[in-house]
Structure formats: C-alpha cells, structure tokens
Amino acid sequence: RSEYDMGHITAALNIEFEDLQEHLDGLPENYPWSQSAPLGAATTAGSILQRDGRTNVQVVDEAGTLA
C-alpha cells in the first residue's frame, strides 16, 4: 500500500500480491496490467495474470512507476 501511496498511474488498481489470485474473477479482461513491485513479486504477479489469459501485461523492473 505504501508504494501505491507514493505514486501510481491514474485509475490504477492496488491489489496486494498475496490477494491477486483470489481477485482474478472480478478483474476486467482487457485492463492494461503493469507491476512495479519488487522484481520477484512483480514477475510472479505477471505470470499469474498471463496464466489467467491476460495479454496486456508488463513487468516494470527499472524505476518502478516512473518507468
């Protein structure tokens, strides 16, 4: 939550990594996904989204939200 509060893309959803799997059914299919959490968590979250059929997924590993 603190990383989200420091800055995020307008209209971004903040879903804690640990809760992502249980929220998949309620998330829009074509939403653009960008994770800027610590790289390991972001990569895992990206994989979870892609396995769920999401195609617009980007893992940002340099400069986080600023990138």
pLDDT tens-digit map of 2-11: 777 877 878 8
Please report, as a single letter, which amino acid is at residue 56: N
Q: Is the pLDDT of residue 65 over 60?
A: no
pLDDT digits (tens, 9 = 90+) for 30-56: 777 776 656 677 788 888 989 999 888
Query: Residue 57 in 3-state DSSP?
Result: strand
Eight-class DSSP state of 18:
G
Is the four-CA dihedral 5, 47, 58, 67 of positive or negative sign?
positive
